[in-house]
Amino acid sequence: MSDSNTSPTRCGYVAIVGRPNVGKSTLLNHLLGQKICITSRKPQTTRHNMLGIKTDGANQIIFVDTPGLHAGEEKAINRYMNRAAISSTRDVDVVVFVVERARWTEGDELVAQKLRGLKCPLIIAINKVDQLDDKNALLPQLQALAERFPEAEIVPVSALRDSNLESLENVIVERLPEGMHFYEEDQITDRSSRFLAAEIVREKVMRQLGAEIPYAVTVEVEEFAHEGKVLHISAAILVERNGQKRILIGTKGERIKQIGQQARLDMERLFDSKVMLNLWVKVKSGWSDDERALRSLGYVDKR
């Protein structure tokens, strides 16, 4: 806390929730002004809760990016992602519920049901409003949301275009409790560099491949070491079947080469270092439906 002549110090946890593919990770990256969460057009890109920490003067917002809540829990990894998303709304100071402009789906309804009885302030961020030619088209949804969630503050935004994010941040800060900061001013996430490297590789896989295979893919970093000014990273891309391995490697290794090139460029930006990246593909049958395998691969509930 500070004296009466200055603003009080504020700090709190803010969960970002919503159905899959609504733009939660993109929103967090733009709020932070730095990419720490992977994104793609495919649902369920985010698999883990991850903290994104933004310190601005007296205010520290600790965002919790979450997997999209989804109805199907046929595999252990789906159950893990839903547990991670639901747990994020407990013991936080604010919840930001991200929905899409002029759309309300069964997925949104599922999230809304999970938010019943919420003890903390709720903010609804209507994302992708830049895609509306006529802003009046938003009015019916604004009215419906205001009736459904009378206690919520509703803020239209465009995460991708950085539109109205400052207003959203101000609304969040107003609802944070006064208190000392939990993290150092220059820390932006609770995740290790090794974890971030694995996520970057997985993002490139998801962007390269079709609809089916990305969900059978995870990445395990086996080497992460500095030698002089060069960062050496070796990672195994795990798939569940030999056919998936062939597709991932591509004709004459072209696809795995492209994935490696794109991942290396992102890693060099993130780690501010020259990176030597070595990738290979391994078959680990049934990993996504094996609780023990998931734990060994880092799928551990953190909150």
- Residue ranges of the annotated binding site are 18-25, 65-69, 127-130
Taking every pair of Cα atoms in the chain, the longest distance, rounded to a whole number of angstroms, is 68
Distance CA 217, CA 249 (A): 13
54, 63 Cβ separation under 8 angstroms: yes
Q: What residues pair up with 126 in beta bridges, in sequence order?
A: 99, 156
Q: In what order do the strands lie in the sheet with 230-239?
A: 218-227, 230-239, 274-283
- 290: helix, strand or coil: coil
In the chain, the N- to C-terminal Cα span, in Å, equals: 26
Instruction: Report DSSP letters for 193-248, one per residue.
Output: HHHHHHHHHHHHHHHHS-SSGGGG-EEEEEEEEEETTEEEEEEEEEESSHHHHHHH
**Is 85 in contact with 107 (CB distance < 8 Å)?**
no
The CA distance from 195 to 285, in Å, is 22
Answer for the pair 173, 123: CB distance below 8 angstroms, yes or no: no
Residues annotated in a binding site for GTP: 18-25, 65-69, 127-130
Q: State the amino acid at position 164 in one-letter form.
A: N
CB half-sphere exposure, 299, CA atoms < 13 A? 25
Indicate the residue type of 91.
D
Environment class of 116 (CB within 10 Å of its CB; exposed 0-12, middle 13-18, buried 19+): exposed
**182 phi/psi in degrees, rounded to 5:** -90, -25
